[in-house]
Amino acid sequence: MSDITRESVEHLAMLARIALTEEEVTQLTGELSQIVDAIATVSEVAGDDVPATSHPVPLSDVMRDDVPGETLSLEDVFRGAPAHDGERFRVSAILGEEQ
Amino acid sequence: MKDKLMDFDKALELFDPVLGFEVHVELNTRTKMFSASPNPANPEFEDAAPNTLITPLDLGLPGSMPVPNRAAVRSAISLGLALGCEIAESSRFARKNYYYPDLPKNYQISQFDEPIAFDGSVQIELSDGRLIDIPIERAHIEEDAGKLTHVGGSTGRIQGAEYSMVDYNRAGVPLVEIVTRTIVGAGVDAPEYAKAYVATIRDIVRGLGISEAKMERGNLRCDANISLMPKGSTTFGTRTETKNVNSLRSAERAIRYEIQRQAQILADGGTIKQETRHWHEDTGRTSAGRPKSDADDYRYFPEPDMLPLTPARELVEELRAQLPEQPVARRRRLKEEWGFTDLEFQDIANGGLVDTVEQTIAAGATPASARKWWTGELSRVANERGVDASTLVSAEHVAELTKLIDEGTLNDRLAREALAGVIEGEGSPSEVVDKRELAVVSDDGALIAAVDEALAAQPDVLQKIRDGKVQAAGAVIGAVMKAMRGQADAGRVREIVLARASN
């Protein structure tokens, strides 16, 4: 059994900035537990002698040359923005520091 | 609220400071780390208007995929080698998850358990010449975040802000983050350690040519971790992390301030809160930022959109062979070769002119004259204009100018005028001399005529000289220089005056 609890779901929801109702927390606690258990099954099969694999094809070092490509127009940049002033995106004030 | 501060020396009698630094270096490749967008940390694109250096990846748009920049990876390997690090046989990227509007993907691509470089050491030199080895834990590749400007509220600071404006040009700029191991034993020198360490990193990346390293532009940023432990203890205290340390001077001052602030709290029986603090250059204080909390639960996991990097050993050795001399060794060698005192050399080093003076000497100037023009007239003009002296004229031009002086074509005053012409883009020193007709007149015919004219106006001078008052010649020399608009060869004029007196 996984150790997914209501508290861990609430914690993850806070980190992801998602507001969950009590019912949703209950539902997700169960669903996440099942997912974690399913993955644990894989761990049982893969012993220490099996190297970690991030991709099915053994490739590495795929890189690009340092050559500038096409950039977006301001119109496209702001196409999906809920708020902007034509130069910059506008977002709610968030507690933090000036960057 | 104003912090209570303990006297610095008293604080160091009671406590040992423990330091750690995280320095972020923006690489100056032409494109960003994972996208083909032009890189604003490259001078070619640094003045771009907000949100014009943007590709779909920089906005986190669905379907966009990161591909690492080969040149940036090479720069990171070179930097790792210059820091004495091992270069990983296999290195991979990781997602650092956090929700803040400076990165629209909601995660930063970084490296976690497999950094490109690790286990190094870098030597710094304190002002009294002591050499200190700073242990390096790792140097890893990541991407910079966008720039937030907070608007509204009474103070303009974040607490009163009503909203924030975001420019994503900086999002995705290639960064190498250099993390030291814990540094103990600095004692009263802790503030100087900070300054010397950041200066050394700056010199290393400039020497490699991989970053513009302008702290005022944020190309090089330092986070300073500091904690105190009671004298004699070996148990580390709680640390704070001071950000916004954007000059060498503030690196020194911020460490000093935190030592004094923490010492007072501990002496009063209080405890240090583990938190991020912000350095304010204007007030010379730090203030509390957000406390370390759940928000720092970054849930790193391997970046599924990119493959591992496995730098070929041949490439690593090729880059190692190209490494420039270490900054400390180079500075000592040049100071010796040029025959400067510590103070004379510091003038050059503090002005960021070591490379420029070296080029000027290579172009034929003597060390003394190269130093004189760069730290004198050129630095003065640069200060007035708020630019780097090295951007005003070329090293070759300064070398040519000193040659014209040595040949007697120019005197000091005329040389300054010629230099002004070069700065204004009128051409090389020789060209300016021709155009402005600046050359010193040492033609005897013209000088003798001018001397005789001046003597006629001051008939008693010759008798004074004959009476032994040689300094009376000064008045005539002055009159001749004035008549010839400063272009007379003063030495020759003096000879002519004295010759007339001995007749």
Q: Which residue in chain A is spatially nearest to B98 when comparing CA positions?
A: A15
A11 belongs to a structural domain: yes
β-bridge partners, B24: B177, B221
User: Are B109 and B160 within one domain?
Assistant: yes
What does DSSP say about strands B275-280 and B240-245: parallel, antiparallel, or unpaired? parallel
pLDDT range class, residue B463, cuts 50, 70, 90: confident
pLDDT tens, B254-277? 999 999 999 999 999 999 998 899
Q: Of all residues in chain B, what percent carry a pLDDT higher than 70?
A: 96
A71 belongs to a structural domain: no
β-bridge partners, B364: none
User: Are B182 and B243 within one domain?
Assistant: yes
B310 belongs to a structural domain: no
CB–CB contact B276 A91 (8 Å) = no
- Give the separation between CA B81 and CA B6, rounded to whole angstroms: 41
CB–CB contact B164 A77 (8 Å) = no
A34 belongs to a structural domain: yes
pLDDT tens, B3-24? 899 999 999 999 999 999 999 9
pLDDT tens, B121-145? 999 988 887 899 999 999 999 999 9
A98 belongs to a structural domain: no
| Average pLDDT score over chain B | 90
Which of A14, A64, A99 lies nearest to residue B67, judging by beta carbons? A64
| Residues spanned by the domain of B366 | 325-436
Q: For position B160, what pLDDT does the model report? A: 52
Q: Which residue in chain A is spatially nearest to B48 when comparing CA positions?
A: A87
User: Are B203 and B279 within one domain?
Assistant: yes
Least confident of B185-199, B289-303, B329-343, B447-461: B289-303
Q: Which residues of B are less than 8 Å from A94 in CB distance?
A: 100-101, 164
- Domain of B480, CATH number, reads 1.10.10
Which of A14, A55, A68 lies nearest to residue B38, judging by beta carbons? A68
A33 belongs to a structural domain: yes
User: Are B462 and B331 within one domain?
Assistant: no
- Give the separation between CA B503 and CA B327, rounded to whole angstroms: 62
A32 belongs to a structural domain: yes
- Domain of A12, CATH number, reads 1.10.20
B18 belongs to a structural domain: yes
Q: Of all residues in chain B, what percent carry a pLDDT higher than 90?
A: 62
What's the number of domains chain A is made of?
1
β-bridge partners, B69: A64
B1 belongs to a structural domain: no
User: Are B231 and B297 within one domain?
Assistant: yes
> Can you tell me the mean pLDDT for B445-457?
84
pLDDT tens, A8-60? 999 989 888 899 999 999 999 999 999 999 988 888 888 788 877 777 888 89
User: Are B182 and B200 within one domain?
Assistant: yes
B319 belongs to a structural domain: no
pLDDT range class, residue A98, cuts 50, 70, 90: very low
Closest CA to B246 of B278, B291, B292: B278
Q: Please give, rounded to a whole number of angstroms, the shortest distance from the CA of B205 to a CA of chain A.
A: 19
Q: For position B29, what pLDDT does the model report? A: 98
pLDDT tens, B22-56? 999 999 999 999 999 999 999 999 999 999 999 99
Q: Which long-range contacts (CB under 8 A, 24 or more apart) does B314-320 make?
A: B315/B74, B315/B77, B316/B77, B316/B81, B316/B87, B319/B74, B319/B77, B319/B78, B319/B81, B320/B81
Q: How many CA atoms lie within 13 A of B409 on its CB side?
A: 18
Q: Which of B387, B402, B436 is the last residue of a domain?
A: B436
User: Are B210 and B268 within one domain?
Assistant: yes
Q: Please give, rounded to a whole number of angstroms, the shortest distance from the CA of B107 to a CA of chain A.
A: 11
Q: Please give, rounded to a whole number of angstroms, the shortest distance from the CA of B88 to a CA of chain A.
A: 13
Q: Which residues of B are less than 8 Å from A97 in CB distance?
A: 158, 243-244, 276, 278, 289-290
Least confident of B88-92, B158-162, B245-249, B439-443: B158-162
Which of A77, A93, A98 lies nearest to residue B51, judging by beta carbons? A77
A1 belongs to a structural domain: no
> Can you tell me the mean pLDDT for B194-207?
93
Q: Which of B305, B337, B367 is the last residue of a domain?
A: B305
A62 belongs to a structural domain: no
Between B53 and B330, the higher pLDDT residue: B53
| Residues spanned by the domain of A35 | 6-45
Residue B154 has pLDDT above 70, yes or no: no
pLDDT tens, B353-371? 888 999 999 999 999 999 9
User: Are B253 and B358 within one domain?
Assistant: no
Residue B106 has pLDDT above 80, yes or no: yes
pLDDT range class, residue A99, cuts 50, 70, 90: very low
B316 belongs to a structural domain: no
**C-alpha B485: how far from its chain's center?**
41
What's the number of domains chain B is made of?
3
B248 belongs to a structural domain: yes
pTM here is 0.79
| Average pLDDT score over chain A | 87
CB–CB contact B70 A66 (8 Å) = yes
Between A77 and B502, the higher pLDDT residue: A77
- Give the separation between CA B419 and CA B348, rounded to whole angstroms: 19
Q: Which of B412, B436, B460 is the last residue of a domain?
A: B436
User: Are B194 and B252 within one domain?
Assistant: yes
Q: Is A84 helix (H, G, I), strand (E, B) or coil?
A: strand
Q: For position A97, what pLDDT does the model report? A: 45
pLDDT range class, residue B156, cuts 50, 70, 90: very low
User: Are B177 and B279 within one domain?
Assistant: yes
pLDDT range class, residue B295, cuts 50, 70, 90: low
At position A67, the amino acid (one-letter code) is: V
Look up residue B154 and give its DSSP letter: S
B372 belongs to a structural domain: yes
- Give the separation between CA B100 and CA A97, rounded to whole angstroms: 11
pLDDT tens, B476-492? 888 888 888 777 888 88
Q: Pick from B165, B241, B278 the residue to mutate for testing the A interface (most A CBs within 10 Å).
A: B165
Q: Pick from A8, A57, A63 the residue to mutate for testing the B interface (most B CBs within 10 Å).
A: A63
